[in-house]
Structure 1
Amino acid sequence: MREPDGSKDGWLINQKWLYVRRAPGNTCISALMDARCGERKISQYGGQAENDSKGCGGVMRSAPFGLLPPRSDDALGWQFDSAAQAASFTHGHPTAQLASGALAALIGAIVLG
């Protein structure tokens, strides 16, 4: 296995399509606007979207949680919970949150071997 030298010479960093700006979904925007401008504020570690959305926006953002290093002996549980909580900021339905957690745990399990 080759040791990383800190340089940015991999093929992935040169993929221009990864740097294209994308538009977030309507559910994401409306949930964050409601939290920002409404009577309710989402705190850093709490708050849940007041909608019943179970769209794919939460899952799309959950993969990186599976790549995070373990913070305890229960790495997959931590990754699951973190991704599910992040999804809850914009998607209020439990299905969206559970799917987000499941993807993060799946990726975490693959990374751990």
Structure 2
Amino acid sequence: MMIQGLRTVIYPVTNLAEAKAWYEQVLGRAPYFNEAFYVGFEVGGFELGLIPDGQPGSTGATAYWGTEDIDAEVARLSSLGAKVHAPVEDVGGGIRVATVRDPYGNLFGVIQNPHFDRTKVA
């Protein structure tokens, strides 16, 4: 099976530094990944991610399902009737993401993140 389970929910924010500080307080921990393009917190074996320059509220958060081979997974999802919404992109640090729309119009995200250790449980 290509889909490994829910990995990440990404929240778009208008001020990454402020959002990072707020989520540090909410979660009671520092992020495990902290760059200008993305901040990631490990929370109980899952990831809460923040991306800058987003449109909070208008599109909402996107859930990303983990995969070890994102190119193969996007191809498989497409063969099952999904339409590519945002093609595979390296967003920095070797993290690769893509989104597709399922046959019913829902946004479905996939992520290949070499920094996220799925065996870790908080």
**TM-score normalized by structure 2?**
0.22
**TM-score normalized by structure 1?**
0.23
- Higher helix content, 1 or 2: 1
